[in-house]
């Protein structure tokens, strides 16, 4: 399987190089025939992204996480960090990929945002924690990020973007005998760019629906995520604390409208759905020194 992927990568890199040069030459025609025309090219690319192994995915995510944490460090509060890991690990255990090396962290930023990196890294900002009111809300937000990881949304986005150029090039290096470490490090930069640009809207809506379900599976009130979005929905659109979140996500009102349709009445009657607001407020009390 692996040699096929690398070969596909080589062809793809070569294709991009030719297409970038913008010359419809005989060479290019020969190339397109070689990969089976446009359909073949698309297929190669698909194989390539699908072929990133789990260890490579994890290594990529760790590379990205190093940079996210380089931008803002973790909040220096071990109790809070362990608490968020406990909620996250429990919610992730309800997903299709419970055995990934899940890592959750709260970083020291006043901005409201949350980030997932491939392979199981989830970082939420202190500002996001401050905007939440219960463990059920936190579970919903983490569930949304967990869904990005389990569905490999970042890898899919890279596949569709020009970053595939790099992916192809490094895969070609791999074909020449070098290790996949290069593949991994070459993908870290483009993945970071995704945090400034955002994923596809459809991926965000899917992550919302999955986040709600993951929280519900974990025993939480599934309306935690909608409630968090309600808070965000009434904040003015140009608030500096939310600038990046608003730029990279559909607006919270639209997300709520979609969730209203997707959730229907089916989530209303889950027995003993819990909010665990007390436990959340206790764990985050140092971030919120004054009672609401």
Total residues found in the chain within this entry = 292
Interface residue with other proteins among 156, 233, 250, 285 (CB under 8 A) is 233
**Would you count residue 181 as binding other proteins (CB under 8 A)?**
no
What are the respective helix, strand and coil percentages of the chain, to the nearest 5?
65, 5, 30
- 106 φ, ψ (degrees, to nearest 5): -110, 120
Kindly tell me which residue out of 71, 160, 200, 201 binds other proteins, with binding defined by CB under 8 A. 71
Q: Which two tokens stand for residue 111?
A: 């901005």
d(CA 284, CA 133): 10
By the rule CB under 8 A, 148 interacts with other proteins = no
Nearer to other proteins (CB atom), residue 146 or residue 172: 146
Q: Hey, CA dihedral for 196, 199, 200, 203, is it positive or negative?
A: negative
Q: Which long-range contacts link 263-272 to residues 24+ away (Cβ below 8 Å)?
A: 263/212, 263/222, 263/226, 267/212, 267/216, 267/222, 267/223, 270/216, 270/221, 270/222, 272/219
Binding of other proteins at residue 242 (CB under 8 A)?
yes
Interface positions, 15-44, toward other proteins (CB under 8 A): none
Question: Shortest gap between Cβ of 66 and other proteins (angstroms)?
Answer: 4
Taking contact as CB under 8 A, which single stretch among the options 6-14, 30-38, 170-178, 276-284 is the one that binds other proteins?
A: 276-284
Choose which of 56, 57, 135, 204 interacts with other proteins (CB under 8 A): 135
Examine residue 227 and tell whether it contacts other proteins (CB under 8 A). yes
Q: Does 230 bind other proteins (CB under 8 A)?
A: yes
124's enclosing H/E stretch is strand 121-125
Query: Per CB under 8 A, does 246 bind other proteins?
Result: no
150 binds other proteins (CB under 8 A): no
DSSP state at residue 177: T
User: In the set 58, 220, 225, 284, which binds other proteins (CB under 8 A)?
Assistant: 220
The answer to whether 176 contacts other proteins (rule: CB under 8 A) is no
Decide: is 200 part of the binding site for other proteins (CB under 8 A).
no
């Amino acid at each position: 399987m692996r040699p096929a992927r690398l070969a596909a990568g080589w062809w793809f890199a070569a294709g991009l190089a030719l297409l970038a040069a913008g010359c419809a030459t005989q060479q290019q025609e020969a190339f397109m025939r070689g990969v089976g025309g446009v359909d073949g090219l698309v297929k190669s690319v698909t194989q390539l992204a699908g072929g990133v192994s789990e260890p490579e995915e994890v290594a990529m995510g760790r590379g990205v996480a190093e940079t996210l944490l380089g931008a803002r460090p973790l909040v220096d509060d071990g109790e809070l960090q362990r608490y968020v890991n406990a909620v996250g690990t429990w919610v992730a255990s309800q997903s299709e990929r419970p055995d990934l090396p899940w890592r959750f962290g709260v970083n020291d930023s006043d901005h409201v945002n949350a980030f997932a990196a491939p392979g199981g890294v989830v970082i939420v900002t202190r500002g996001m924690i401050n905007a939440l009111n219960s463990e059920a809300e936190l579970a919903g937000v983490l569930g949304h990020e967990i869904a990005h990881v389990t569905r490999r949304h970042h890898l899919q986005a890279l596949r569709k973007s020009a970053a595939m150029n790099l992916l192809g090039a490094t895969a070609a290096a791999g074909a020449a005998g070098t290790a996949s470490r290069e593949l991994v490090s070459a993908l870290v930069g483009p993945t970071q760019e995704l945090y400034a640009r955002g994923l596809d809207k459809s991926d965000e809506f899917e992550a919302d629906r999955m986040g709600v379900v993951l929280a519900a599976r974990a025993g939480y009130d599934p309306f935690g995520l909608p409630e968090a979005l309600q808070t965000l929905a009434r904040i003015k659109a140009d608030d500096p604390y939310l600038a990046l979140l608003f730029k990279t996500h559909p607006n919270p009102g639209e997300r709520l409208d979609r969730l209203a349709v997707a959730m229907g009445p089916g989530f209303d009657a889950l027995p003993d759905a819990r909010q665990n607001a007390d436990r959340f407020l206790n764990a985050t009390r140092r971030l919120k020194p004054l009672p609401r």
